[in-house]
A and B are shown apart, each in its own frame.
Chain A
């Protein structure tokens, strides 16, 4: 089951700072909600155990992430793949950073491909739940980078 998410977010911080943070696994780990554990393989690869809980589908999903297509200070791609709680997921996301005065505009898009139990919940709900998660991640990013 596939769905697409996209959006724009304004972050009151310089582009170089944002790019460096978002392409740093250690930083990203602090922004993922419900993170249980985390390990860095190298500067472009990390894995994370994330707690999920939608109704009775509860458990931990182990995700492996790789940061690709890095074009400092404007673009990168984050690909994550993992399984757990009777489900499998693959997330392929890109972001572009554009200058916007003193702050930065981030344009992002993500394609999710889910199978197993979680997929049965269906596109509209999963999209809504994912948007909630993404907003939480951006809120965390902003609270860490904005002064």
Chain B
């Protein structure tokens, strides 16, 4: 699809289209983020999940940002959602992960693929923050290639019986509902299900706390043992689970990329503050040219990622109004991968330079930038690794027959 100048101008024009309600929502996001800083910091130092985050986000009514107003959410478009995630990113990737999985991978997926009954049952609770959602695709033996998953289901008269395990699942041990993918024992086709975590046979086998960072985010290993779920738990069409999975990731990547913009903003703010008061060799370190070079890199990292991310969000809004447009879908998918690839790499580079500017104190999770360095690393892995994003972008340019990851 040709990217004309007119289209770009149209998209830039849309940047001014923040409605009154959007501005109010973004004010709530801002206030929630400012209040979150304390508990995130304290939990991080204790290397534990921040159990104050969900009550706080619920109090500010920001758990249902993209959920349609009919189901009690804000019905925000992708651009507004992206700005909200950017603000959460200033607090850190722990909050970004929690919100991204709950809202992009969970709620939006249900909103796009769920039946009216599923939506009415689950989305209002999700919007209020009474229930948290998770997304379980990865397995111990299947990560970048989910089509090789081993989790399976069988069908009887009134239920699907699931067996298998899901690894590295964010919100896994706190979620009430989990989007789960499994393959049919009959024909091998993969389907998606929305599973109540209270179902017998659903087990949180391990809380994965030995991570490099991201301590305030919950990560779990889930196991399903002869887990019988009702027939109405099917999400989307039988055998079309990978379409559900990939559409969720298209959304989620925009969320993660937006969070990375916030990380870079926080790195820049923290470094500017530090560079102006930290004195070495008789002057503020900000007056040393090599420190200025790092600052300039962080600022350009930030700005070179900002537009690809906003563009992905604006294009996603276009897609939402034209869901059947396959060409647009491919184009948005590429832009979402591009945005995540650029933003997560730039954020990691920015955090690394920020640690350098902070010096020894930066090499500590007490500093804002030390935490960003370890936490941002994961953005280059989850929801599609750097390599998979590169292959995706390349094959989208070359054509489907060049898909190298198949």
Chain A residues engaging chain B, CB cutoff 8 angstroms: 1-2, 54-57, 115, 117, 119-125, 127-129, 132
A117 partner residues in chain B, CB cutoff 8 A: 361
Besides A57-B366, A128-B38, 5 new A-B residue pairs in contact (Cβ under 8 A), listed by A number: A1-B274, A120-B358, A120-B362, A120-B364, A125-B368
Tell me whether A121 and B38 are in contact (CB under 8 A). no
Answer whether residue B37 sits at the interface, using C-beta atoms and an 8 A cutoff: yes
Q: Which residue of B lies closest to A56 (CB)?
A: B366
Q: Which residue of B lies closest to A57 (CB)?
A: B366
Tell me whether A120 and B37 are in contact (CB under 8 A). no
B273 partner residues in chain A, CB cutoff 8 A: 1, 122-123
* Known contacts A54-B366, A121-B366, A132-B38; A115 and B45 CB within 8 A of each other: no
Answer whether residue B202 sits at the interface, using C-beta atoms and an 8 A cutoff: no
Tell me whether A120 and B274 are in contact (CB under 8 A). yes
Interface of B is mostly: helix
A57 partner residues in chain B, CB cutoff 8 A: 366
B38 partner residues in chain A, CB cutoff 8 A: 125, 128-129, 132
CA distance in complex: A55, B370 (Å): 14
Identify which of residues 253-290 in chain B touch chain A, using a CB-to-CB cut-off of 8 Å. Answer: 266, 269-270, 273-274, 277
A-B contact pairs, 9 of them (CB 8 A): A1-B277, A2-B277, A54-B45, A57-B366, A120-B364, A120-B366, A121-B366, A125-B38, A127-B37
B135 partner residues in chain A, CB cutoff 8 A: none
Tell me whether A125 and B37 are in contact (CB under 8 A). yes
Residue of A121, A127, A132 with most partner-chain B CB within 10 A: A121
CA distance in complex: A124, B40 (Å): 12
The answer, among B266, B270, B274, B366, for a CB contact under 8 Å with A55, is B366
Tell me whether A120 and B361 are in contact (CB under 8 A). yes
Residue of B41, B266, B358, B362 with most partner-chain A CB within 10 A: B41
* Known contacts A1-B273, A1-B277, A132-B38; A124 and B368 CB within 8 A of each other: yes
Closest CB-CB distance, A39 to chain B, in whole Å? Answer: 31
Tell me whether A119 and B277 are in contact (CB under 8 A). yes
B292 partner residues in chain A, CB cutoff 8 A: none
Answer whether residue B367 sits at the interface, using C-beta atoms and an 8 A cutoff: yes
A132 partner residues in chain B, CB cutoff 8 A: 38
CA distance in complex: A123, B34 (Å): 11
CA distance in complex: A124, B37 (Å): 7
- Nearest first, the 9 A-B pairs at minimum CB distance are A120-B361, A128-B38, A122-B368, A55-B45, A128-B37, A1-B277, A55-B366, A125-B41, A122-B270
Closest CB-CB distance, A88 to chain B, in whole Å? Answer: 11
A123 partner residues in chain B, CB cutoff 8 A: 269-270, 273
CA distance in complex: A122, B45 (Å): 15
A127 partner residues in chain B, CB cutoff 8 A: 37
A115 partner residues in chain B, CB cutoff 8 A: 277
CA distance in complex: A112, B155 (Å): 65
Identify which of residues 210-230 in chain B touch chain A, using a CB-to-CB cut-off of 8 Å. Answer: none
CA distance in complex: A97, B405 (Å): 69
Identify which of residues 79-114 in chain B touch chain A, using a CB-to-CB cut-off of 8 Å. Answer: 90
Tell me whether B367 and A120 are in contact (CB under 8 A). yes
CA distance in complex: A124, B34 (Å): 8
The answer, among B41, B361, B365, for a CB contact under 8 Å with A128, is B41
CA distance in complex: A119, B359 (Å): 13
Closest CB-CB distance, B291 to chain A, in whole Å? Answer: 15
Identify which of residues 41-100 in chain B touch chain A, using a CB-to-CB cut-off of 8 Å. Answer: 41, 45, 90
